Chains A and B, each alone.
Chain A
Amino acid sequence: MEKMKLLAQWTYTPKPIHRGYTKEVCLVDLGNRDGKYRFETKTLSDEFVERFTGGRGFGLGLLWEAVNENTKWDDPENEIIISGGPLCGITQYPGAGKCYSVFLSPATKQTYASNAGGYFGPLIKFSGFDSFELRGIADRNVIIFVDGDQGKVEIYESPFSPKDNSYTITDELHDYFSAEDEDRENGKRAISVVSTGQAAAHSYICGMNFSFYDLRRKVARLKQAGRGGGGTVLRHKGVHALVVKKRKVTGVENDPADLATLQQVGIKLHKEIHDYDDVQCKMRKVGTAHLNEVMNDYHLLPVNNYKFGQHPDINNIHSDVYTSLFTQGLPDGCWYGCSLSCAKAADNFELKTGPWKGKKVTVDGPEYETAASLGSVIGIFDPKWTIEANFYADHYGFDTISLGTILAFLAECYELGLINKDHTGGLELTFGNKDAMMEMIHRMAEGTDEFAVAASRGIRYLKDFLSEKYGADRKVMEDIGMEGQGLEVSQYRCQESIAQWGGYFLTLKGPQHDEAWLIFMDMVNKQLPTFEDKAEALYYFPNFRLWFSLVGLCKLPWNDIEPADNHIRYKGIEAAKVPEHVQNYVDIFNAVTGKNITKEDIITQSEKVYNFERVFNLRMGKGTREWHNIPARGLGPVFEDEYMARPDYFDDKLREAGIDPQGLSVKEKIEKLQAHRRAQWEKLVDAVYKRRGWNKNGIPTLETVKRLGIDTPEVVEVLKKHLRPEDEWDN
């Protein structure tokens, strides 16, 4: 690669980390397409740190200050803020390399927070910044380079074309910025690149790829902040890549207050992983793809646009098959010290299609989500096809979850006759048609025609496009389009778990499973018999899980490995909380920060941010009950073939609802089941809002924000505009 043209440079003095924080933010403002670049260091107040804790909280707090109620995702005022959190970068405890990207989403038109592994989060923090804040829109395509060793931030003119994609950009930048290192390989390892691909120029579902350099494979690997359209925002800003370089990484970069405790707690979890992973989730061998056949067994695997939960070809995508495709025996952690090593990869994989046809590549994943999204949900049970689709999705910038759910929606529209070959550019987009699906992915990335562009913008966009352009039946599309708040549903079939309706559709940002996964607890274990029980779970788990996003941790070491006696020492829902690991989190937070929090404080820290984000979305014109909606397919069968896949089961469900199925046609049964479940949904919404301290319209009450200490004048002003007496609860 030729020498890049330097457009702007700024020097700073990296502030050392004290007890997990630098309390400094690097702001890079690209101007408003005028080439006026600006750099600034912001210092965070103690009050700000206390209110938002870190990570996603810092991102939301900073974004609140940057935008107003009229800001759109493509305005220069919209930002991408990447923050690690106080535990981000520790090497003693597994899963501590996560960072969170916060932005206004092109898909949902409200705040989004998306997490990624890789080295960017820790390295930007070790370069002196708790948050990296990117504002404005450049006058040309640029590369932004943070040199944490030299204390420099530089903006270069991008040498890449708009058609260049993530693996190209990432590889070349690891190479370019390590050119002067004597030890080239370790130089590459000191670098992390954030990029996206060509699809982000027009798609709304593009994520950001965060790299880390794999010394053993000698390739740059990509971990995705996939969801919500962060990559789309990045490209819209004219940024082809963010790059950070920081050579010095030690186990004490975070300046922990109590290193001995940090080490001790870490060793305990490493030992658990070593001793029990092989008999528990096998994360070290196959990552989250261990769930493939499990989800099928419990009717939870999404098949053909979530119509069915099982498929006879499940053995084709069994975790044993994926285990054989992944290279074994390598320490696949996406940050130093993660012995859970779930970042699996298929090496020397020869691509059969697309611009890199014939090339051998290393493909990250697929994880469970992608095995389902670019697999079962579109009726494909061919792991090698899925691996190829996974590669191109990452390369082009697509979020694999949204991509698969969109393709599934289109396939069902096609099979229902809502669209045909005239609309699809000649593609026969049926379930299981591998060639057509792969071609569609390439076309969506290219933006070949208006159909491909519309598809790349998500189901909500497609519903408008297909009904207005082709006269497709809007009601049917509303029923079968698996999206909420503009975000496509991730890869679990939630129909038979009322609690998971909430886990998906009563969320801050849309149906992503990172708030709550309650299907087993509700549907199988039957531990949540009442709406109040479900509401309690939909209070605790979203708040508990949000905490990972505040501090810079991965969720997986919480409950994809557990102490050997967890299942006999704790009973019921307590066991699902994995209390010993919760205590680990308390201990390592205190060990790093020197604070003295309790497990209850974890919930309070999260609840502050959870409610702040809810108010933020209210400020952006969302955040009320009307945006919490669930499609009919999310509640149960829509068409007769779905009901008839499990007729006895659904007949029993009708009887449980006090409806005698005798003498009813299948169509009538479906109507009655849907009506019953819709009524249950409304009850769930009420119960959850009450438990969360929100009013009937889903808005946090003044009492709630006051209790949490987030009742700043700005927050109260937003609430007062929307709180109405008629939305107060009767008791």
Chain B
Amino acid sequence: MRNPLIRRIPRELKGDFHKYIVIIIFMVLMIGVISGMYVGHDSMLAAVNEGREKLNLEDGSFELSKRASQSFIEDISTGKRADVRKYFIDKGIKEADKEVEKALEEELNKQVTQAIEERVREMCKAYGITDEEMIKKQIDSAMEESYEEALSEAKESKEYKKAADDAYKKAHEEVEKKVDEEWDKISDRYELEEEYNPSPVTIYENFYRDAPEDNDGDGDDDATVRLFKSDSVINKASFIKGREPQTDSEIAIDRMHADNVGVELGDSIIVEGKKFEVVGLLSYVDYLTLHESNTDFMFDAFGFDVAMVTPDAFNKLKSRVHFNYAYKYDDRPEDKIQKADYAESFLKALITQTLVYDIEIENYLPEYLRQASNFAPSDIDGDSAATSILCYILIAVIAFIFAIIIGNTIDKEAEVIGTLRASGYSKKELIVHYMTMPIIVTLIGAVIGNVLGYTAFRNVAVNLYYNSYSLPPCHLVWSNTALIKTTIIPLLLMFFINLIVIVRRMQLSPLRFLRHDLTKTRRTKARRLPRWSFIRRFRLRILFQNMPNYLVLIVGVVFIELMLCFAFGLPDSLSHYADEAPDMIFAEYQYMLMDYRDEDDNIIETKEPSAEAFSAKTLLFPRGANVLFEGRGSGGDEKVTVYGISEKSAYIKLESNLTPGQGYISSAFSEKFGLKKGDLITLSEEYENKSYEFTVSGIVDYDGGIALFMDKKSFDTVFDKEKEEFTGFFSHNEITDIDEQSIATVITAEDITKVTVQLNHSMGGFMNVFKYALVVLAAALIYLLAKIIIERNEHSISMVKILGFKNTEIGSLYIIPTAIMVTLFSIIGFAAGYYLMIWIFHVFMLQMDGYFVYYMKPASMILSVIYLLIGYGLVSIVDYIRIKRIPMDVALKNVD
């Protein structure tokens, strides 16, 4: 026979559908969101990973100062390091040989000349010639006649040969000794002596040009477009719409950028003054996010674009060609550790080979550290992980609410439970019975949630990703992980939380159930209350009676406040950052030059009166223990721009008596890593094993970047630069008299705010929806808990009605304690959420490049509490109606 108790479940669901429908909707939404995020995530990642193979994504790339020779390509392809020692010895010997040869020649010449002169003088003496004029004439003619013969005779002489051999030998030994000394230092520094396995690679040309793009035809440049050739076999693109360019006037541009700036297929854009028709919208496999530079804090799909043109069109453009080479390992690395090993080994090969070939490395970036191809997948991963953690917290909150509901049901049904236990029902049977409801509700939530996850929510997630990233097209992927995480985890949460509560409750003896003696700890006396009015003491009793409800409420409210702090704080922080941006930069324009000399070797100058030359270089600051999580940002250490500022700078004021080991740090640098005056920091070179120590002498109020400032003299000393060398100009106005070819980059306030524009675009709309969703969530949570409180007191409410209390009075008795608690918890929750958010932001920022502080407007702070109270206000109206509807006979009935 089937347990007849099971028939209670559907009736209970039907009988109390208000309560269960809220819980089920809650579960459906939570599970649906997690499922949607995971299915969207898996579908998206499947498309990304498929693209990596299909579109031949590089394993890394390097940019050289000039086009590499065929022999360089061949040598670097082996993955082997160049024999730098031999190279230097050969070079040294060649130079030494020249020197020795020159010295020997001079010496021999001197000796032969001397010998001839002496011989002529002796002969003249023998003939009695004393006239010096005559003697010189004789010497000259003798020189003319026999110099060559004497010289060759001397060269053939044994003495000369021995002397020459000795000289060469000595010079060679000297060279080797010197090179060895240097080599020891270099090899120690680069660890070049150690055993290594070369990783052979295949090298691909992946040249590009960065050109100005005018996408609305107004004559102003709107963005920088990075152009690649359409015949490239590495880092290919997938087309979302349209096709590859086929003529010189056709172009295919990034889909995300096109969406953002409103360019559609068939429109025209102007690149470098030339009109191109947009024939394709694409997604480059190595530009899933439009990071112009790997150190960019955020991608910029407005101001940066990647595009494909035909090789002919590419060759006709005038912007500087970036000699970028992509490589792929012949033996694929298996994991990230191996990727790092390979990358390090390849970098050594690259450094040594470029040294031997006398080429400079402009940039080196292993793919696993490439933000443009890894930011999106890791962000998608992070998003789904974060969303699911948030949802699990909410499911746990729901599970606790459920546990309270069941606890109340057990209270209410104590006598029935006692009777059943007395009749022979085992504890286990009753535990199973009371566990059935939460499990069924979770299962209903999981089934509907998963269906929605695979349909509506998946599309929401995918669209969310498409709104932010330049992703390839994707198709629905069945996700086992999603199914497990959206079914098993909520079930387990619900199961264990309820099991603990129910098992604890069921420990009581049948007799105690029958007597309704359910409290575990027996108070001998009632809690003493202050001598307040009856009404206030009544409310206080209700407060004490419902402590477990209020405990769940505070967890829920803190959680919702945290989310509200996020929903309000992120747009606030972005607009705060954008507002502050003009004050954040110390120069309206920062021109970084390719070199301080132009093509004709003249020092670059400008007539702009506000221009001021400065030196700069990028060093690394170890993030080390500051990082809590890895896998985001550009990876590795924080990049610090070190500035050498002229003595009487109009832009940055530094103390005049700084020594070379001292410097000022930017306020962003100080805040990000908690550095203060007097601290010692160690910065190291990116591609050399060289490090420098600096004492922080002060802090410059500059939030726009992680920077160290020192005077130019110290800069030149520390980095071994010539006095005349510099990197670029600070200027208040645009500099127009410098050849564009000589300018590497220009940094303006816009570059600082592009991150805010991008984030606002990606998340702005979502945040508003999120705020309202949170209000609904808060209201639902409070609704459930308030309903439990009233249900629990139905009997008393009915009784006080009989006694003659008015509904308003009863309302004030039962609603005001919750109102006080909700208000109190909202304020506590806000404070907790606010500080937690500051901490979360800081931890997040530590792993990213750059710095960005969390900020919340005072109005937003108030609103975040008010929003929650609005949610509660709605619930209390429902509560009041509910109290009004409780009939008086409840108190008189035995069974209802």
Are the chains A and B members of one assembly?
no
Interface on B for A, CB 8 Å cutoff?
none
